């Protein structure tokens, strides 16, 4: 009996030690079916993978991310401990932020909410919490959604609407990215970078980005254009913007100059690639 127990423990340890690590990014299966069909930009943050990084301590636990702080103020829940994945879905009609985590004492139990000024309503059996202009819908003790009340009600309505399906092309695009701390996919990045909407994002057939925040910011953005010439023009636009910012930056602003040096833009055939590699201290300085 002792030998059998010992053998079982060895087998368990071997299997656990050889467990395959994620090979690509993905959207949690509880969130993906809820994303509106008209979403044209998706962005994700894996809070659970960030916990041992400087970024987590400064920006998540430090309450510097607006969407997470709004969630905390509306619900009283702490994203630093209760949330493990966040997905932003942006569409022409507005934005929704999806939260995956553990919001009750145990799964299946109703979360406790005790926030001054918070109003609680019921829509088709689901709780919507409203405080000031912020609203959060709880579908169950593991999924919550933040947005405008009307948009949250639409999420509930769409679950029973025939023909309403999530944007599968964007969801599939996420799975082509490495398992990073943060990622983004878009049909047109002009909605994200309005200043470059005319030149940077014209003729873009899609864009994707991912970032590793283990020690600093190591990020890569790729954009697909209709031709190699368009990709070169976009590359030159990015390089020109960097040169312009350098010319305007005061020599005394060494941190800004370091940030600009951290950005590299290249093109290959019809693909534009922009890479950023910078220490976390530089990132923190720029977002103060």
* Backbone CA torsion sign across 214, 19, 30, 206: positive
* Amino acid 103: pLDDT: 84
Residues 106 and 42 in one domain: yes
Query: 106 vs 162, which has greater pLDDT?
Result: 162
182, two tokens = 């943060």
- If one counts the domains in the chain, the total is 2
Residues 143 and 85 in one domain: yes
Whether residue 8 is contained in a domain is answered as: no
Whether residue 83 is contained in a domain is answered as: yes
Q: How confident is the model at residue 10 (pLDDT cuts 50, 70, 90)?
A: very low
Return phi, psi of residue 75, to 5°: -105, -20
Is the confidence at residue 19, as pLDDT, over 50?
no
pLDDT above 90 covers a percentage of the chain that reads 50
Give the residue from 114, 132, 167 where a domain finishes.
Answer: 167
**Which domain range does residue 202 map to?**
188-288
* Block residue for tokens 């990073």: 180
Contact 40, 200 (CB under 8 A): no
Which among 176, 180, 229, 237 has a CA at the least distance from the CA of 207?
176
Rounded to 10°, the helix 254-261/228-248 angle is 170
Residues 197 and 94 in one domain: no
Over the chain, what is the mean pLDDT?
Answer: 84
Is the confidence at residue 224, as pLDDT, over 80?
yes
Mean pLDDT for 21-34 is 87
Mean pLDDT for 103-115 is 65
Whether residue 175 is contained in a domain is answered as: no
Which among 5, 89, 4, 3 has a CA at the least distance from the CA of 39?
89
* Amino acid 251: pLDDT: 64
Residues 34 and 82 in one domain: yes
Residues 138 and 35 in one domain: yes
Give the residue from 167, 198, 215 where a domain finishes.
Answer: 167
Mean pLDDT for 60-75 is 89
* Amino acid 17: pLDDT: 40
134, two tokens = 């912020």
Query: 251 vs 73, which has greater pLDDT?
Result: 73
Mean pLDDT for 29-35 is 96
Residues 163 and 33 in one domain: yes
What's this model's pTM, rounded to 2 decimal places? Answer: 0.85
203, two tokens = 């003729």
Is the confidence at residue 40, as pLDDT, over 90?
yes
Residues 163 and 192 in one domain: no
Residues 92 and 152 in one domain: yes
Whether residue 52 is contained in a domain is answered as: yes
Residues 68 and 156 in one domain: yes
Flag the least confident range among 187-196, 208-217, 227-236: 187-196
Residues 127 and 27 in one domain: yes
Is the confidence at residue 18, as pLDDT, over 70?
no
* Amino acid 194: pLDDT: 56
* Backbone CA torsion sign across 192, 194, 196, 201: positive
């Amino acid at each position: 009996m002792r030998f059998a127990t010992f053998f079982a423990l060895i087998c368990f340890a071997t299997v656990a030690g050889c467990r395959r690590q994620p090979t690509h990014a993905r959207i949690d299966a509880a969130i993906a079916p809820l994303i509106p069909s008209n979403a044209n930009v998706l962005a994700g943050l894996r809070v659970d993978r960030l916990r041992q990084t400087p970024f987590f301590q400064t920006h998540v636990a430090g309450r510097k991310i607006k969407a997470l702080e709004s969630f905390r103020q509306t619900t009283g829940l702490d994203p630093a401990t209760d949330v493990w994945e966040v997905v932003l879905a942006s569409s022409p009609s507005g934005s929704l932020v999806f939260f995956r985590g553990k919001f009750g004492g145990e799964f299946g139990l109703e979360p406790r909410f005790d926030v001054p000024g918070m109003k609680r309503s019921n829509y088709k059996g689901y709780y919507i919490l409203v405080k000031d202009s912020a609203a959060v819908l709880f579908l169950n003790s593991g999924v919550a959604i933040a947005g405008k009340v009307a948009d949250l009600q639409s999420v509930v309505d769409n679950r029973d609407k025939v023909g309403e399906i999530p944007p599968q092309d964007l969801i599939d695009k996420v799975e082509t990215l490495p398992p990073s701390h943060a990622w983004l996919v878009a049909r047109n990045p002009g909605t994200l970078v309005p200043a470059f909407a005319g030149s940077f994002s014209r003729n873009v057939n899609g864009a994707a980005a991912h970032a590793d925040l283990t020690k600093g910011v190591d990020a890569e953005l790729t954009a697909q254009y209709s031709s190699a010439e368009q990709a070169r023009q976009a590359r030159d636009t990015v390089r020109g913007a960097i040169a312009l910012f350098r010319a305007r930056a005061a020599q005394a602003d060494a941190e800004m100059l370091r940030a600009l040096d951290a950005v590299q833009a290249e093109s290959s055939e019809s693909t534009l690639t922009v890479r950023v590699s910078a220490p976390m201290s530089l990132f923190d300085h720029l977002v103060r």
